[in-house]
Structure 1
């Protein structure tokens, strides 16, 4: 890619850059990179044990897992990554490699490059569509799949006035985001996007860090309307344990998508509802979210077993 410096390209040829592809943007202290397709994918790593890979959603990055990584790393090797073009890159929105398919290929490449698989793979929102695509294309890399209000299942729902309205909500959020960015109003862009997903007044309650993360990634929001392409036949083939989670106040398209997935693959348990939480449940109620995830991980630690024997 043009964003890589010439020095990084030369080093890539000479040494393969297994963990340190250089970027033209600054890499924060404590953050590693791995070269995937010539792109320096950023991630934080902590702990040891079975690998747990955390994949953020729209307008997020590796930092959204601040309430998960320190806790999970007591028993697991935790990798919190930033997808291509998200922070620490400050993307201008111009590229042809920003897609669910590309992001899924990058996640799979990271798992393979670092020799991690099979992993416990967790994805939130748009990151859910990414990890579903990884699971579809590379089931051998998955030990368990954890879906937090995952996108990508909308195609499983029958077309009704209700589902059309839900699709319109997503398109409306992205359209307003683009309008606010075009007007140069980052604060309004963040506020309307956050409140649209989590309920009125949510933005005002967000911490300074939470707002910083979202504003740092506003440039990626212009392409956040893509949902991925997962079919019922894809879901039916999944043989690894799956955990689904939704917030008590999450948009209904997420729990309805999970319910549809269960009709495709009855071995998927009913979604766990995180109380006092909306779409950003891992931040809204981290104690309840972490308890559910850690209980699931503990159930599936150790040698691989047939999914039917562990659910």
Structure 2
């Protein structure tokens, strides 16, 4: 079973398929590398497609110390996978927790990214909801520490941005929830405390995002309510960003509607690979809707 070793000694399980330009898929809190199976099969036909389990997600190592989990560590883990595989630059595709890691990777290691797909990213980012989000992360960690993963999966899977998946594809949703129940309670609790609770708000990163020049796709479901305003923030702030919204979709968009997800991401990657991805013309941000009024 292949593993990449991080600079702090954590072994990360990964899987790969295909040949060509590399894509690295970074999973969400409730997922693992198996959640990217529809993307590995699709993009593996044209790319070198790679997915890995974050620290805390077996068969990756599960550090017992919560201080070994952080947003910076999550970024470093992407670097560790790239370095282990001898990859200088790759397309990085992340969902939710993985979307935050993807964005931060682009901010800190732009020379290693061919492109960034930041999907389902924004929960807990809005300033007015920051305290509530941190309290929820603490409550989630406490629940994981006292209850079974099966109980957690049943409860967490019924969240307001997951019901869309359950309604559309009951069989796929049942598989998603069964895989969630197999996760490590310790690793999941530590991830909530070290990564989710402590990550900086997107609204505190606008200066860094304004300097980002890596081709970026912001992707969200239109019923993933906590991510809609942050998606608009990233679109407005990142000069190389496009925004795509998947209709009647919740949070788990790569599994909820994999065909649409793959099509949108595939078209984005094709434009990047062809050298045709634009940087926004500053005139597009003019205050006049028609251009007929003086700026």
Tell whether 2:47 aligns with 1:76.
Answer: yes
Change in CA separation of 1:201 and 1:299 when aligned onto 2, cut-off 3 Å: closer
Separation of aligned partners in 2, 1:199 and 1:212: 14
Change in CA separation of 1:180 and 1:85 when aligned onto 2, cut-off 3 Å: closer
Match of 1:113 among 84, 96, 118: 84
SS in 2 for 1:67: helix
Change in CA separation of 1:144 and 1:92 when aligned onto 2, cut-off 3 Å: closer
TM (normalized to structure 2)? 0.81
Match of 1:290 among 242, 258, 262: 262
Tell whether 2:4 aligns with 1:34.
Answer: yes
2:176 maps to 210
Q: Tell me the matched-pair count.
A: 269
Tell whether 2:9 aligns with 1:46.
Answer: no
Alignment of 1:92-107 (within 5 A): 93-107=64-78
Change in CA separation of 1:121 and 1:262 when aligned onto 2, cut-off 3 Å: same
1:123 maps to 94
Unaligned runs of 5+ in 1: 1-26
Separation of aligned partners in 2, 1:173 and 1:216: 22
2:241 maps to 268
Q: Note the C-alpha offset of 1:110.
A: 2.0
Separation of aligned partners in 2, 1:143 and 1:153: 27
Alignment of 1:155-304 (within 5 A): 157=126, 159=127, 163-164=128-129, 168=132, 170-171=133-134, 173-196=136-159, 198-200=161-163, 205=170, 206-217=172-183, 218-222=185-189, 223-224=191-192, 225-226=196-197, 228-229=199-200, 230=202, 231-250=205-224, 252-269=225-242, 271-302=243-274
Q: Note the C-alpha offset of 1:226.
A: 2.9
Q: Note the C-alpha offset of 1:70.
A: 0.4
Unaligned runs of 5+ in 2: 282-295
| Bigger RCO (CA 8 Å, 6+ sep) | 2
Deviations 1:56-86 (A, max 9, x none): 0113211110111000011100001111221
Separation of aligned partners in 2, 1:89 and 1:119: 22
1:145 maps to 116
CA contact (8 A) 2:57 2:187 kept: yes
TM (normalized to structure 1)? 0.77
Separation of aligned partners in 1, 2:217 and 2:124: 15
Separation of aligned partners in 2, 1:202 and 1:305: 34
